[in-house]
Chains A and B, each alone.
Chain A
């Protein structure tokens, strides 16, 4: 299987033993099935109470659930939580 090419910044970060997220890599933190925290995003593509789609350098992250709230939305990070029910991610 052919190895997927990596970005230059990621390779430098690996060589310098830096934290990947410092080099702009996507970092997703999940707390149970009620909270998701996405760092190094590139904006929100879609936001409804049932679905949040976040664009990142590597992929698009989709969070599905009920009563979704953007608890925090900044230039680099998004905090998403479900006020009722739970959320899942793909």
Chain B
């Protein structure tokens, strides 16, 4: 920004325009004074064309060129900025975070440990990592993963995993086998397609009991062995419990209030007023004021202590039962396999030592049969 002093300043503007100088933001301060903005290059031109009638003085320098000039004069700052930039560029050559998506947390932790063997870990140099080789090796070694993609995004290694849908276990029909119960159940129905059903509906079985036999050996007949096949639907129960106290402590305000001021210097605090005299109280911050100035971390905080009385209050029974039943139901549902059909549930409540326990039994119908090959 320049200031021009002189008479007939219109003439000065015309002279500047004739010399090819672009003048911006021209303001007439008075009859003999004018303020304007020119570029540094035009300023030299202007000073050369201005006759002795006019005085051109620079009032303020601003702009990119001036900023760069000022910056270059502060060498330590420039060196510091260059070092920071260099450090940022150097840091970008390393992996600082490994982010895995597509699988649950437990599997992700296991995969992270495995990735360390391939050199992918926080702090690893990117240049030493062969992404394609790692992807191929992981896909080959993990049947449960259909696809793995590893790529770098800035300083993070992003690992995207697509879990595979594993095919159902195939039963070799040429090998004799039995169908056994996978878990304890009450038999609902048995459909033997090959072999002999050895259990009836209504009968209970333990895990491992034969339900359809592949070995048929009756008196007077030759011993026959074949691959048993069929469907065994059993009634299986899953149980889960949740517990909560039947009463809770509530803090009832008495109405008595005491204020206390505390001085804070950074993270350290010291009381200004005497401490609170109440046995039980709730504290609330009602004001915070800087002591010295805005830039120093010294503040005075006003605290309000409200006296409370602790009382025991019964939780509404129906609400508590509903809450516990719902929680226990969802917990039990987590144990139910995907192929099982939920047919009902039952809840049992039990109160003991001030604690109420809800136990939910979920009843399911599911195929409990599993093939076990017969040994000769």
Residues of A within 8 A of B (CB): 43-49, 69-75
Q: Which residues of B contact A43 (CB under 8 A)?
A: 10, 13-14, 17
A68 to chain B: closest residue by CB: B28
B14 touches A44 (CB 8 A): yes
Instruction: Check if B26 sits within 8 Å of A70, measured CB to CB.
Output: yes
Inside 8 A of A45's CB, which chain B residues have their CB? 10
- Given the known interface contacts A73-B16, A75-B18, the answer about A44 and B10 at a Cβ–Cβ threshold of 8 Å is yes
Identify 13 new A-B residue pairs, CB closer than 8 A, beyond the known A43-B14, A70-B13, A73-B13: A43-B17, A44-B13, A44-B14, A45-B10, A47-B9, A47-B26, A70-B26, A70-B36, A72-B23, A72-B24, A74-B23, A75-B17, A75-B18
Q: How far is the CB of A47 from chain B (nearest CB, A)?
A: 5
Q: What are 26 contact pairs spanning A and B, CB under 8 A?
A: A43-B10, A43-B13, A44-B10, A44-B13, A44-B14, A45-B10, A47-B9, A47-B10, A47-B26, A47-B28, A49-B27, A69-B25, A69-B26, A70-B13, A70-B23, A70-B25, A70-B26, A70-B36, A71-B24, A71-B25, A72-B24, A73-B16, A73-B22, A73-B24, A74-B17, A74-B22
Which residues on B sit within 8 Å (CB–CB) of A75? Answer: 17-18, 20
Query: Distance (Å) between the CB of A35 and the closest chain B CB?
Result: 13
Question: A63 → chain B, closest Cβ, in Å?
Answer: 13
- Judge whether B10 and A72 touch: CB under 8 Å: no
How many chain B residues touch A (CB < 8 A): the figure is 16
B23→A73 contact, CB < 8 A: yes
Set of chain A residues within 8 Å of B22, measured between Cβ atoms:
72-74
CB distance from B5 to the nearest CB of A (A): 15
Q: How many A-B contacts at CB < 8 Å in the complex?
A: 44
Instruction: Kindly name the residue among A69, A72, A73, A75 whose own CB sees the greatest number of chain B CB atoms within 10 A.
Output: A73
Nearest chain B residue, comparing its CB with the CB of A69: B27
Query: In the assembled complex, how far is the CB of residue B146 from the closest CB belonging to chain A, in whole angstroms?
Result: 63
Bound Cα distance A49, B25 (Å): 12
Q: CA of A18 to CA of B16 in the docked complex: distance in angstroms?
A: 30
Question: How far apart sit A72 and B23, CA to CA, in the bound complex (Å)?
Answer: 6
How many angstroms from the CA of A48 to the CA of B32 in the assembled complex?
11
Min Cβ gap B31→A in Å is 8
The chain A residue sitting closest to B16, CB to CB, is A73
Question: Which residues of A lie under 8 Å from residue B27 when comparing CB positions?
Answer: 49, 69
C-alpha gap A48/B29 in the complex (Å): 9
Distance in Å from the Cβ of A56 to the closest Cβ of chain B?
13
Contacts of A46 in B (CB 8 A): 10
State the CA gap A77–B307 with chains docked (Å): 77
| A43, B14: Cα distance in complex, Å | 5
Alpha-carbon distance between A49 and B26 when the two chains are bound, in angstroms: 10
Whole-angstrom distance from the CB of B155 to the nearest CB of chain A?
47
Taking CB as reference atom, which chain B residue is nearest A73? Answer: B23
Interchain nearest-CB distance for B98 vs A (Å): 56
> Hey, which chain A residues are within 8 Å of B10, CB to CB?
43-47
Q: Which B residues between 1 and 23 are near A, CB-CB below 8 angstroms?
A: 9-10, 13-14, 16-18, 20, 22-23
Chain A residues in 8 Å Cβ range of B16: 73
A87 to chain B, nearest CB (A): 14
Which residues of A are found within 8 Å of B18, using beta-carbon distances? Answer: 75
Identity of the chain B residue whose Cβ is nearest the Cβ of A83 in the assembled complex: B27
Q: Tell me how far the C-beta of A76 lies from the nearest C-beta in chain B, rounded to whole angstroms.
A: 8
- What is the CB-to-nearest-CB distance from A40 to chain B, in angstroms, rounded to a whole number? 12
- CA distance in complex: A36, B10 (Å): 18
The residues of A that contact B20 with a CB separation of less than 8 Å are 75
Note all chain B residues with C-beta closer than 8 A to A44.
10, 13-14
Give chain B nearest CB distance to A70 CB in angstroms: 4
Query: What are the nearest 9 A-B pairs in CB distance?
Result: A70-B26, A43-B14, A73-B23, A75-B17, A74-B22, A44-B10, A47-B10, A44-B13, A49-B28
Give bound CA distance, A48 to B8, whole Å: 11
Min C-beta distance of B54 to chain A, whole Å: 14
Please, which residues of chain A bring their CB within 8 A of the CB of B24? Answer: 71-73
Q: Look across to chain B and name the residue whose beta carbon is closest to the beta carbon of A50.
A: B28
Q: How far is the CA of A75 from the CA of B49 in the complex (A)?
A: 15
B13, B23, B26, B36: residue with the most chain A Cβ atoms closer than 10 Å: B26
The B22-63 residues at the A interface (CB cut-off 8 A) are 22-28, 36
CB nearest neighbor in B for A46:
B10
**Cα distance A73–B26 in the bound complex, in angstroms:** 8
CA distance A72 to B20 in the complex (A): 13
